[in-house]
Amino acid sequence: MGNLYKSKLTGKSLGVIFGTFAPMHLGHYNNIMRAKRENDACLVVVSGYTGDRGDAIGLNRTKRFRYIRELFAEDENIYVAQLDESQIKRYPHGWAEWLVKMNQLKDSATEEVPERVTWYVGEPEYKEELDKRTNDQIVLLDRSSLPISASMIRSNPLKYWDYIVRTFRRHFSINILVMGSASTGKTTLVRDIARSFGSPYTDEYARTYEEESNVRDEELVANDFHYIASGQFDNNKKTIMSPSNNGMFFADTDVAVTKCYSKKYLPGEDHEKLIPFYDLLAEKEKWDIIIVIPPVTKYVDDQFRDMSHADEETRQEMHDLMMAEITYQGWEDKVIMLNPSFDQQASYDKEGFYARYTEARKVVKNYILDNYQIELP
């Protein structure tokens, strides 16, 4: 059974659930479970219009519909449909037209007309209207048993993270990008801070790609950069979407960083051709914090990079390219420069790796406290 082309629902009884679902939460989910279990099958309808409260936060009706369809992809007793309200009167003035559309959806989602249809609603006025307008059974749900609402989540998604159904979490994920030129200890820092928060992270995809494709840094051509950028984008995306995301995700590089390497190492005309591609992907990224490690560290030989990338001048040049790219992408307000002060003489941490780890954790904790009023340990 596929997700995109599901069979129609069968059985004698049908449960119907409708909502804006911006986002869908555990309260909605429990309702759907009840409707499914008390009937042979359940129809879930995502209703909305251009500019509705989901659209206002970047979750338009189609996106919501797709996330919910994905959520129930393997469930053959749940059919997800969407209802476009753009052309009908706004609630509560469009009940008649809205019901016509609902009935059409019911017909197209079911193999045969069910003998019994039960609607599950959480608002008394929905029950009142539906009782007046249909012969179906209407169940008024007890909303107080799970005191959560989509507006509570919209106002503080991190606080209510566990209530957001998995496929919607990606939209609210706090994404933290760590940028830095070669050999600043970036990879280890990303892993160390991500693990300290129990959050998922990605490594630099270029390394995997070069190993797998048997190509060294200095042998990379335009095609390779294309694969590296999309591979990194994909890894970041999959990790953001993974169930391991606890509200925060840490990335070691992104498309914009690959673009900087492309600018430095590819012939000008090859790089120019790739710019629209890089920008298209970069536009889809959402970074909440960009931690930049300036090239102040001693070169760390990770046995991977070509040594010539790491001389002082090249590292400064890469740093400058990255800062220019941040400005180009309009991400300046996300940047935090990681340059902690520490006493080199008095410490075993001569290169400041531990100092940067501590500082990076502080940056993230302060951000979460300021924006979500949550004190992380």
Ligand X SMILES: NC(=O)c1ccc[n+]([C@@H]2O[C@H](COP(=O)([O-])OP(=O)(O)OC[C@H]3O[C@@H](n4cnc5c(N)ncnc54)[C@H](O)[C@@H]3O)[C@@H](O)[C@H]2O)c1
The site for ligand X (CB under 6 A) is made up of: 18-21, 27-28, 31, 47-48, 85, 88-95, 98, 121-123, 126, 141, 143, 146, 148-150
**Residue 14 burial by Cβ neighbours in a 10 Å radius (0-12, 13-18, 19+):** buried
19 annotated as a binding-site residue: yes
Pairing verdict, β 13-19 and 201-202: unpaired
Nearer to ligand X, 132 or 284 (CB): 132
What is the spatial distance between Cα 120 and Cα 143, in angstroms, rounded to a whole number? Answer: 11
List all residues 6 or more positions away from 164 whose beta carbon is below 8 Å from its beta carbon.
23, 24, 25, 153, 157, 172
25 annotated as a binding-site residue: yes
Strand partners of residue 46: 19, 82
What is the spatial distance between Cα 234 and Cα 228, in angstroms, rounded to a whole number? Answer: 10
Nearer to ligand X, 47 or 258 (CB): 47
Phi and psi at residue 120, to the nearest 5°: -115, 115
20 annotated as a binding-site residue: yes
Distances from the Cα of 132 to the Cα of 15, 19, 85, 102, angstroms: 18, 19, 21, 15
Q: Least distance in Å: CB of 353 to ligand X?
A: 46
Q: Least distance in Å: CB of 373 to ligand X?
A: 22
98 annotated as a binding-site residue: yes
Q: Provide the terminal-to-terminal Cα distance of the chain, rounded to the nearest Å.
A: 44
17 annotated as a binding-site residue: no
225 annotated as a binding-site residue: no
Nearer to ligand X, 118 or 184 (CB): 118
95 annotated as a binding-site residue: yes
Closest CA to 16 of 49, 37, 45: 45
Nearer to ligand X, 43 or 176 (CB): 43
Q: Least distance in Å: CB of 82 to ligand X?
A: 10
127 annotated as a binding-site residue: no
Q: Least distance in Å: CB of 91 to ligand X?
A: 4
What is the spatial distance between Cα 13 and Cα 117, in angstroms, rounded to a whole number? Answer: 6
Nearer to ligand X, 46 or 176 (CB): 46
**Closest chain position to ligand X (CB):** 122
DSSP designation for 50: T
Q: Least distance in Å: CB of 171 to ligand X?
A: 15
Report residue 41 as tokens: 């099958």
Q: Least distance in Å: CB of 154 to ligand X?
A: 11
What is the spatial distance between Cα 335 and Cα 331, in angstroms, rounded to a whole number? Answer: 7
Q: What region, left, alpha or beta, does residue 11 occupy, with left being phi > 0 and alpha being psi -120 to 50 degrees? A: left
What is the spatial distance between Cα 375 and Cα 179, in angstroms, rounded to a whole number? Answer: 25
Closest CA to 353 of 153, 187, 106: 187
Nearer to ligand X, 161 or 205 (CB): 161
Nearer to ligand X, 31 or 181 (CB): 31
94 annotated as a binding-site residue: yes
Three-class SS state of 361: helix
What is the spatial distance between Cα 237 and Cα 191, in angstroms, rounded to a whole number? Answer: 17
85 annotated as a binding-site residue: yes
Q: Least distance in Å: CB of 13 to ligand X?
A: 19
114 annotated as a binding-site residue: no
Q: Least distance in Å: CB of 308 to ligand X?
A: 57
Q: Least distance in Å: CB of 310 to ligand X?
A: 53
Nearer to ligand X, 126 or 357 (CB): 126
Three-class SS state of 137: strand
Three-class SS state of 372: helix
Nearer to ligand X, 122 or 231 (CB): 122
Question: Residues comprising the binding site for NAD(+)?
Answer: 18-21, 25, 85-98
Which residues sit in the known binding site?
A: 18-21, 25, 85-98
